[in-house]
Amino acid sequence: MAYELYYWPTIQGRGEFVRLALEQAGAEYVDVARGRGGVAAMQRLMDGGATHLPFAPPFLKDGDVLIAQTANILLYLGRRHGLAPHDEAGHLWAHQLQLTIADAVDEAHDTHHPIASGFYYEDQQAEARRRAADFTGNRIPKYLGYFERALERNPQGDRHLVGRQVGYCDLSLFQLVAGLRYAFPRVMTRLERDFPRIIALHDRVAAEPRVAAYLKSERRIPFNQHGIFRHYPELDNPE
Ligand SMILES: N[C@@H](CCC(=O)N[C@@H](CS)C(=O)NCC(=O)O)C(=O)O
């Protein structure tokens, strides 16, 4: 039976981390809200149509199993599709890395919405500038420095974050880099030379046959100004 992925239909957002795992696994899935069911089908589950109620998308339905929270979904898929180690320590390490990527994604979002998601960007622009200056000056280097070290210390080689084959953390790190490049191109141009292992991993993931086919397909919608990663030139502070 095909997985059902529920996510907002017009943005990559957090759904993209799940899509990349499904695509790399070669798993059959239906992107429900992009299809005939639309957002209404997604809303129905959140409004009480499910026992294990999701708070927010993305969520994944596998028959009777309904799972929300991006890192939790990837924990589930990782085990089933060989995208994470099976032993407990390796499995938890992959989950830890994924939760850290999730933190970085939250902070990337907060650069353009530092006060509240419900307010317009224009009504929090001054705070956004301050937040983005800190994110680009301190937080991106700290997060990327951490993942660079994690790659360097992988006992099975620096081509992957965990183990010796492409896993869901590698796919997510690829997506984090892609998002940061879209949102902060000038900052990233300046920073990337400090993180050669991450950039090499990004390029290898993009060249994985299933990922490459996905990136060229219509299923991969472009980054846009409604997603988590948004490009506001005034926030792309290269200093
Ligand atoms: N921690 C959750 C965050 C989920 C989340 O914030 N989803 C967004 C879309 S990317 C949403 O629709 N949020 C609605 C809300 O928070 O009210 C995850 O990683 O899945």
Residue that wins the pLDDT comparison between 21 and 1: 21
Regarding the beta carbon of 72 and ligand 1, being less than 6 Å apart is answered: no
Mean pLDDT of 198-205: 98
pTM of the predicted protein model: 0.97
Counting every residue written for the chain, the total comes to 239
Mean pLDDT of 58-75: 97
Regarding the beta carbon of 98 and ligand 1, being less than 6 Å apart is answered: no
Regarding the beta carbon of 212 and ligand 1, being less than 6 Å apart is answered: no
Query: What is the share, in percent, of the chain residues with pLDDT greater than 70?
Result: 99
Residue whose pair of structure tokens reads 């224009």 in the numeric block: 122
- Which SS3 state, helix, strand or coil, does residue 93 take? helix
Phi, psi of 65 (to 5 degrees): -90, 125
- Between the CA of residue 12 and those of 85, 96, 176, 195, what are the distances in Å? 27, 23, 12, 25
Dihedral of CA atoms 17, 21, 24, 28 in degrees, nearest 10, equals: -120
Alpha helices in the chain (DSSP H): 15-25, 38-44, 70-80, 88-112, 125-134, 140-153, 168-183, 185-191, 196-207, 209-216
Nearest CA to ligand 1 atom 4: 56
Regarding the beta carbon of 13 and ligand 1, being less than 6 Å apart is answered: yes
Mean pLDDT of 76-94: 96
* Furthest CA-CA distance within the chain: 50
pLDDT of residue 238: 62
User: What confidence tier does 50 reach under pLDDT thresholds 50, 70, 90?
Assistant: confident
> In angstroms, how far is the first alpha carbon of the chain from the final one?
50
User: What confidence tier does 128 reach under pLDDT thresholds 50, 70, 90?
Assistant: very high
Substitution candidate for ligand 1 out of 14, 175, 223 with most atoms within 8 A of CB: 14
- Beta bridge partners, 62, equal 65
pLDDT digits (tens, 9 = 90+) for 131-180: 999 999 999 999 999 999 999 999 999 999 999 999 999 999 999 999 99
Mean pLDDT of 99-115: 98
Instruction: For residue 11, give the ligand 1 atom closest to its CA.
Output: 10
pLDDT digits (tens, 9 = 90+) for 214-239: 999 999 999 999 999 999 999 998 66
